[in-house]
Structure 1
Amino acid sequence: MPHASKPSRKSFQHRLDHMVQTLRSDILNGHYRAGDYLPGEKLLADQFLLSNKSIRKGLDQLVSEGLIQKIDRVGSQVLQAGTIETVSLGYNSTIERDIALSTLVDDFQALHPRVRVKCLPLQSTKDYIQSISAYMEHEMIDLFTVNNRDFQRLIEDGEIAALQPQKESEDVYPLTKEAFRSNGALYARPLVFSPLVLVYNRTHFAECGVPEPDGSWTWNDALRHAAALASPGQRHGMYFHLLSDNRWPIFPLQSGVNFLADEEWYERADNEVIASCRMCKTLISNHHVFPNMLSESSDDVNELFREGKVSMILTTYMSLNDFRDTELDYDISPLPFLFEPKSVTVVIGAAMNKRSSGKASAELLLDYLSSPRAQQLIRQRTLSLPATKKVAEAPPIAVQHAFEGAKLPELNIPSRFALFRETLSSSRLHSALHLSDGSFARLKTILKHYWADLMDESGLYLELRALFREEAKKRQQQ
């Protein structure tokens, strides 16, 4: 008769962790009250299929957490019950993908068993800041995630006073702190960031004999190679969701115009900004290269790329997470450029409600999210770039060994993952356009009309000149 197999160490550890988590939860939720005794070691051993020695090890963990005390020859007495504290964290729809939020929350709660995180998904990106403001006003939220564009809206809406100023760290990239600074103070802790990059299907390039892109590519190069990659009825050469606020601004940014210092650029009718917008129109109007598709978001673009229906897209490191579990043969490259190789950069951080009634616990969570431990977890489980420089630039082998014994997912990582290090000098926040949120939206509308042939270049010039003249006057009055 064959012998039963010996239980694995992994199975034993799982049962022990389950016992500790169950007893901890029962204590914190008031099932066991202060002064009560936990079941005896024999009963616990039978319940959780563990040895008495293992039971004692688990009880020692609860002692170290201050939840019970062991009384010799009597038992394990509960010291505190119902002392659980709750921190409310608001986040937008992509944060789980961007930073592996559920993994971070589970790890935080294991480290701080008396604090529970209540995650509040706020799905509407259009009204995200409006929702955050209402939640803060009614003290329904302690922390929330915010990107640099959201932060600008908070400033202009007069909501910055509702945020708790934050301590700065020298360990994060300076650009990520610039994204959340106002009047010299930091109001959000940077978590992840990304420049916009060119993502390409290596199989398509090899099949068509097209050289893989590099930092020397201009938009004319991209257009020419995209035409060679396109196959009528099968795939297009390039695509991106033009109306995304993380896409269309690259064209005015790449004009090379310093919108703050050079206030006379708009006096030149055929200027670099006009030429950059013209280049974009040339690209998107070529339907052999660029599909005539009414995409609703960049998710549509990523889906086309996964399906092999487009060879090149523009996206962020955060969006690369849509490909991390695939077998897609892809890589990344700096954006093509026209006048200057600049790229729009997105930064995501976490901010605290100044009115929070649980500031101590909220601060604890905020410290954790920006800690090296949490940043390592983000790097291990996603393709996002942690804001902490040392973690973002660590070699893969160091990332894998950051947590001993941890089972890591096998991510489909592009071979040129580290190229962001060499392109940091070209990374620009949206604020580099020096436009208020209202003027930013107005610029987008002007460009939409031009790109849709509802306005010619003469009209585009007049509209841009009027817009930036108004901004120049505002700056002079400030």
Structure 2
Amino acid sequence: MIITLRNEMITNIWEEGSYLPSESDLADRFELSKNSVRKGLELLASENFIEKIPRVGNRVLKSPTGVTIKFGYYPSMIKEAQLDKLVEQFHMQHPLIRITMIPMPYNHTHPTMRDYMESDNIDVMAINNQNVELFMNANTPPSMLEPQQINDGVYPLLTEPFVHEAKLYVQPFMFSPIILCYNKKHFSENNVPEPDSSWTWETVKKTAQQLSSGNDRYGFFFHLLSDNRWPIFLLQNNLVFNREPENQNSLELDKASLKESFQTMIDLSEEVFPPFLSESDHDVDMLFRQQKVSMIITSYFLLNMIEDVDFSYDISPLPYQGSPKTLIITIGLAINKNSKHKQAAQTFIDYMLSHEVQLALRQNTLSLPSLKSAAEWNGPVNIKQPERYFIFRETFPTFNYHTALNVSFSELEEIRQNMKLYLSKMGELQVF
């Protein structure tokens, strides 16, 4: 009732100076008790939408002036979070706050997300654990981000990349570990046991060869150059880059250990990969959708791209060689410290972190909400989900950020360029 009457007054269905219908009529229209109607009208009066005149009625006042805030978002969130629908619902509940959506780049090349925030005066921005380094460093608090309250209902691990000196600067919204996804039909047809948490990369190679049927189907594939894929092999080999005391920008690492990690990738690519030159993780999803590969490395986010396939699939913890570790991706929401509408921006973030919205994320997508109560909700959903959807609960101890390697995301990009030459057998590994 409140949302409807607000919108009707804003759009001048009820003009300034006119009177709303009686409490009895409103109770009939909205199927509410008179007491509920009275409470709703009191709220509208407190918001200066109406003036309560004793023994006369509820007179409509001049509509309060609204504000517009700019929201920078990752384009993939339209599918991963059904973001456009969430914003539409926000407009219904908060008609005086309008959201202008502005797509943001993923990489660190100019113009970066920080450049957009500065030049376009973006009020709220989605920032993941990789891009947050554009705004934060180890020595000083972020100059552009407004501190926020830590939400006790959010998984503590998700806040780690966004905290500086015990203050939270990005509120976690959703997350995903990197996982294995597989075609159940292919396993059944070949009488091959499905993956479990004991699988190593050697198991993957052997199983992939059993599942392969020549040029029509290959057993396993992932986008080799994805920065959410190849660093996993270093993590599983317990590698940590060291820094020279005199030069913190110089990275050192035992080349033998690094080569051992890369060799696992080389063996997989040479022995079981299809002869396909992928440009992104989405190419891998495409081959899986077409049932040209039986197993892929993916994320809960990307499961949203394959949720409508007409065959049965499931997920499993990522195989390992050494220690069972995987990467985690966390996407949060930050407020521009220089925003002129910080209160409205905070209202939007509070809405996105509400149980109502987080539960909608759980019910309508395959992404994982940051709010534990929503992520672990086991009621009916509106989307087909894998049987083992909840494996993330048992595998939390294996989740790592790329910072566990003691490198920044920008440094990872530099390492990848050198790795490309090495994997192509066109150069030796260099000290970075």
TM range (shorter): 0.7 to 0.9
Structure 2 CA distance for partners of 1:245 and 1:268, relative to 1, 3 Å: closer
Q: Distance in 1 between matches of 2:91 and 2:110?
A: 27
1:371 aligns to what? 354
Tell me the equivalent position of 1:453. 425
Q: Does the 8 A contact of 1:323 with 1:412 survive in 2?
A: no
Q: Please give the per-residue CA displacement for 1:300-350, whole angstroms capped at 9, x wherever unaligned.
A: 211111111110010111111112333330111111111111101100100
Q: Which runs of 5+ in 2 are unaligned?
A: 246-250
Kindly indicate whether residue 252 of structure 2 is the aligned counterpart of residue 280 of structure 1. no
Q: 1:348 aligned to 2:331?
A: yes
Structure 2 CA distance for aligned equivalents of residues 261 and 441 of structure 1: 17
> Following the alignment from structure 1 to structure 2, what is the Cα–Cα distance between the partners of residues 415 and 262?
48
8 A contact 2:146–2:169 mirrored in 1:
yes
Taking the aligned partners of 1:181 and 1:431, their CA distance within structure 2 comes to 14
What are the superposed Cα offsets for residues 95-148 of structure 1, whole Å, 9 maximum, x if unpaired? 1222221232233333333222222223x3336884532343246311010110
Which of the numbers 280, 283, 291 marks the counterpart of 1:308?
291
Matched, 1:126 2:107: yes
Any conservation in 2 of the 1:37–1:75 contact (CA below 8 Å)?
yes
SS at match of 1:270: helix
Give the Cα separation in 2 of the matches to 1:192 and 1:384.
Answer: 7
The alignment partner of 1:417 has SS state of coil
TM-superposed CA distance for 1:268, in Å, is: 5.0
CA distances 1:192-227 after superposition (whole Å, capped 9, x unpaired): 111100000000011111110111111111011101
Q: Is contact 1:153–1:437 with CA below 8 Å preserved after alignment? A: no
| Amino acid in structure 2 at the alignment position of 1:434 | N
| 1:270 equivalent in alignment to 2:242 | no
Which residue matches 1:14?
Answer: none
> Measured at CA, do residues 51 and 355 of structure 1 come closer, stay the same or move farther in structure 2, by a change above 3 Å?
closer
User: Which residue is equivalent to 2:316?
Assistant: 333
In the other structure, the counterpart of 1:108 is 90
> Would you say the 8 A contact 1:139–1:356 is kept in 2?
no
Look up the SS of the partner of 1:251 in the other structure: helix
Q: 1:293 aligns with which of 276, 287, 296?
A: 276
Q: Is the 8 A contact 1:162 1:354 kept in 2?
A: yes
Give the direction of change, closer, same or farther, for the CA distance of 1:82–1:422 in structure 2 (3 Å limit): same
Where in structure 2 are the equivalents of 1:159-178 lying within 5 Å?
160-178=142-160
Segment drifting more, 363-372 vs 64-73: 64-73
Cα distance in 2 for partners of 1:200, 1:233 equals 18
* TM-score normalized by the length of structure 2: 0.87
Q: Does 1:440 align with 2:426?
A: no
SS at match of 1:256: coil
Deviation per residue, 1:18-64 (Å, 9 max, x gap) = xx8676335325676533457x79xxxxxxxx999317969875664
Kept after mapping to 2: 8 A contact 1:29/1:84: no
1:186–1:260: structure 2 CA closer, same or farther, 3 Å change rule? farther
Conservation of the 8 A alpha-carbon contact between 2:114 and 2:134: no
Task: Return the alpha-carbon distance in structure 2 between the equivalents of residues 439 and 179 of structure 1.
Answer: 16
Greater helix fraction, Structure 1 or Structure 2: 1
**Displacement of 1:252 after TM fit?**
1.1
Question: Share of identical aligned residues, percent?
Answer: 36
Amino acid at match of 1:441: E
User: For 1:45-60, what aligned pairs fall within 5 Å after superposition?
Assistant: 53-54=28-29
**Corresponding residue SS for 2:319:** coil
Change (3 A) 1:135 1:27: farther
- Number of the residue aligned with 1:13: none
Give distance in 1, aligned partners of 2:243 and 2:311.
44
Whether 1:65 aligns to 2:44 is yes
Aligned match of 2:69? 87
Could you tell me how far apart the structure 1 residues matched to 2:94 and 2:53 are?
Answer: 25
Q: For residues 204 and 56 of structure 1, what CA distance do their matches in structure 2 show?
A: 53
Aligned residues: 417
- Local SS of the residue matching 2:209: helix
Equivalent position of 1:200 in the other structure: 182
Deviation at 1:438, TM superposition (A): 3.6
| Equivalent position SS for 1:215 | coil
CA drift at 1:291: 1.6
- Alpha-carbon distance, 1:257 to partner: 2.6
* Distance (whole Å) between structure 2 residues aligned to residue 24 and residue 51 of structure 1: 14
* Deviation at residue 168 of structure 1 after TM alignment: 1.1
Is residue 2:134 matched to residue 1:146?
no
Of 178-187 and 53-62, deviating more is: 53-62
- Of stretches 142-151 and 78-87 in structure 1, the one that deviates more from structure 2 is 78-87
The question of whether the paired residues in 1 share the 8 Å contact of 2:27 and 2:37 is answered with no
The aligned counterpart of 2:169 is 187
Q: Is the 8 A contact 2:217 2:293 kept in 1?
A: yes
Structure 1 unaligned blocks of 5 or more = 1-16, 42-49, 401-407, 468-478
Alignment deviations for residues 357-412 of structure 1 (CA, whole Å, 9 cap, x no partner): 11111111111212222211111111111112222223x22xx4xxxxxxx62x12
Partner of 1:137: 118
- Find the aligned partners of 1:125 and 1:115 in 2 and give their Cα distance: 27
Aligned to 2:248: none
Provide the rounded CA distance (Å) in 2 between the counterparts of 1:149 and 1:334.
Answer: 22
> In structure 1, what is the Cα distance between the partners aligned to 2:305 and 2:88?
22
Q: Which amino acid aligns with 2:88?
A: D
After TM superposition, give the deviation of residue 173 of structure 1 in Å.
1.6
Give the match's secondary structure for 1:65: helix
Residue in structure 2 matched with residue 224 of structure 1 by the alignment: 206
Map of 1:405-444 to 2, 5 A cutoff? 409=382, 411-444=383-416
By how many angstroms is 1:285 displaced? Answer: 1.9
